[in-house]
């Protein structure tokens, strides 16, 4: 084989005597890691701090719910009523944050860190317009929402006050999420974790101090959220600056590509969150005739499942970051191998998660609820469904990746078929079996059948690569 002219010449020292005890030949270089292993390692380095950040966010929510539960009889009731409306903010927040992450990942691939700040500011401008409109709607319509939810007389005034202030504060909370998404898009996942930790610690500390120390009770929540948003945004901008993504005096003109990213990435993400919300309500409706314990058990199992599937969503996001960086760099030959590496890594992770959940379903259910009947119902659901997570985990990786690389329309269609099929078939199975097990087995079978999404993901990735190569060929 001819020598590589780009490599420095290697000096060879040959022995002139057969008696020489020293082998002076240069040893061969260590073999490089196989390509799939390198892709999996790159995904894993992003995914680990991202998973930790999601867990921190989940635990923060649980701590706040527990604290609110000790702030008076109406506090938890009012906050529970706000949650469905707050999810609208969360859906828009997620849509714009993921759009920012995708745009920044592609800028990373193009080696254009100077694009990060203008992209982030452009997304912020969109949020100000959309978020302000939503805040006005909720604030002005607060009395109407109180009537719609049949809020009790004792909590009526408090609900209206809480809804109005939390909607205003939610408008401020986009800063930390946006900065964290920009950092992740450029591969700074650990900095994103630091930002999440700062926001969570500040919020919990202020709620504890004001809610219990000064007696403000649930009135401490909007104050804590506002301070948390300000502190998180300041920390996020500082981290962007330290990472070299924002320079002093840098201008931030409107980025025309912003709306394109929102249309191709953000809208499908928001639509998926809306579909999931409707799906959860529909399943509670299907199980309603079987009593409070069954509904409570299913809700408990759903909470466990939300935590279990979190690694899949993060792995899908991390894989998409790597692929979008490769797309930005024009390295399309690495896109399909990266997709395969992300899916294989998900199979390995969820083989462990599925087995642990199945074997530990009883103690897990008892830990999540103190009601024996609800715990038994939750354990029953996990016993039937949990082993199918070994397939559902990789499927969620593929769907998340589709949303993040421009295939969100396909992901939405697949989600509608999956969730709609579960509701329709589950309702029929429940009636036929006269047991909630009919729904649980429907979900289990659907999880296995949903493996078709892996093929859909692979097909879209191949199409993405082929179109990019045709475009490059046409440009030449």
pLDDT per residue over 262-279, tens digit each? 988 888 988 888 888 788
Q: Are 405 and 268 in contact (CB under 8 A)?
A: no
Give the model's pLDDT for residue 443: 95
Contact 83, 161 (CB under 8 A): no
Q: Is the pLDDT of residue 296 over 90?
A: no
Instruction: State the burial class of residue 225 (Cβ atoms within 10 Å of its Cβ: 0-12, 13-18, 19+).
Output: buried
CB crowding 308-339: b at 16 or more within 10 Å, else e: bbbbbbbbbbbbbbbbbbbbbeeebebbebbb
What pLDDT score does 3 carry?
39
| Cβ atoms within 10 Å, residue 249 | 4
Calculate the average pLDDT of the chain: 84
Is pLDDT above 90 for 122? yes
Using CB atoms within 10 A of its CB, is residue 361 exposed (0-12), middle (13-18) or buried (19+)? buried
The whole-model pTM stands at: 0.79
**371 vs 126: which has the higher pLDDT:** 126
- Comparing CA positions, the residue from 383, 388, 386, 365 lying closest to residue 296 is 365
Q: Dump pLDDT digits (tens) for 129-170.
A: 998 998 999 899 999 988 877 787 888 888 899 889 888 888
pLDDT of residue 10: 38
Confidence band (pLDDT; 50, 70, 90) for 114? confident
Q: Residues for the chain: how many in total?
A: 476
Highest mean pLDDT among 220-224, 284-288, 399-403: 399-403
Cβ count near 30 (within 10 Å) = 6
Taking Cα atoms as reference points, which of 110, 269, 247 lies closest to residue 181?
Answer: 269
Q: What is the average pLDDT across 229-257? A: 87
Measured between alpha carbons, how far is 415 from 101 in angstroms, rounded to an integer? 22
Q: Is 20 helix (H, G, I), strand (E, B) or coil?
A: coil
pLDDT band at 71 (very low <50, low <70, confident <90, very high): confident
**Cα 161 from Cα 300, distance rounded (Å):** 30
Q: Is the pLDDT of residue 41 over 60?
A: yes
Tell me the mean pLDDT in the region 41-65: 84
pLDDT over 90 at 340, yes or no: yes
pLDDT tens, position by position, 423-470: 999 999 999 999 999 999 999 999 999 999 999 999 999 998 888 787
Strand runs labelled E in 269-389: none
């Amino acid at each position: 084989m001819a020598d590589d002219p780009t490599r420095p010449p290697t000096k060879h020292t040959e022995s002139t005597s057969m008696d020489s005890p020293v082998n002076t030949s240069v040893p061969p270089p260590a073999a490089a890691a196989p390509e799939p292993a390198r892709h999996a390692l790159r995904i894993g380095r992003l995914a680990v701090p991202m998973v930790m950040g999601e867990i921190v966010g989940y635990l923060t929510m649980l701590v706040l719910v527990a604290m609110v539960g000790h702030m008076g009889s109406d506090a938890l009731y009012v906050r529970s009523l706000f949650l469905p409306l707050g999810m609208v903010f969360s859906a828009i927040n997620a849509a714009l944050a993921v759009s920012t992450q995708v745009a920044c990942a592609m800028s990373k691939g193009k080696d254009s860190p100077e694009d990060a700040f203008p992209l982030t500011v452009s997304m912020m401008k969109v949020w100000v317009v959309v978020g302000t409109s939503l805040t006005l709607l909720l604030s002005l319509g607060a009395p109407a929402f109180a009537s719609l939810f049949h809020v009790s007389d004792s909590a009526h005034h408090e609900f209206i006050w809480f809804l109005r202030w939390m909607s205003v504060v939610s408008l401020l909370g986009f800063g930390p999420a946006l900065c964290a998404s920009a950092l992740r898009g450029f591969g700074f996942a650990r900095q994103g974790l630091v930002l999440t930790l700062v926001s969570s610690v500040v919020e919990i500390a202020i709620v504890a101090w004001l809610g219990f120390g000064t007696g403000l009770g649930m009135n401490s929540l909007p104050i804590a959220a506002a301070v948390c948003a300000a502190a998180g945004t300041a920390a996020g901008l500082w981290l962007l600056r330290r990472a070299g993504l924002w320079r002093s005096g840098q201008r931030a003109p409107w980025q025309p590509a912003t709306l394109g990213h929102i249309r191709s990435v953000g809208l499908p993400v928001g639509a998926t969150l809306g579909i999931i919300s409707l799906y959860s309500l529909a399943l509670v409706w299907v199980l309603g005739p079987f009593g409070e314990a069954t509904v409570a058990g299913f809700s408990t199992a759903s909470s466990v499942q939300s935590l279990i599937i979190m690694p899949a969503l993060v792995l899908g996001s991390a894989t998409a970051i790597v692929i979008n960086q490769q797309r930005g760099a024009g390295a399309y030959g690495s896109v399909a191998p990266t997709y395969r590496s992300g899916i294989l890594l998900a199979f390995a992770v969820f083989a462990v998660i599925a087995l642990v959940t199945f074997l530990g379903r009883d103690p897990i259910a008892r830990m999540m609820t103190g009601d024996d009947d609800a715990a038994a119902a939750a354990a029953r659901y996990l016993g039937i469904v949990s082993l199918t997570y070994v397939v559902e985990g990789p499927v969620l990786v593929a769907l998340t990746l589709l949303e993040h690389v421009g295939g969100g329309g396909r992901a939405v269609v697949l989600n509608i078929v999956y969730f709609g099929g579960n509701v329709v078939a589950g309702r029929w199975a429940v009636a036929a079996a006269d047991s909630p097990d009919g729904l649980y087995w429907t979900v289990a079978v659907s999880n296995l059948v949903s493996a078709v999404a892996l093929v859909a993901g692979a097909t879209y990735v191949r199409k993405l690569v082929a179109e990019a190569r045709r475009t490059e060929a046409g440009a030449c």
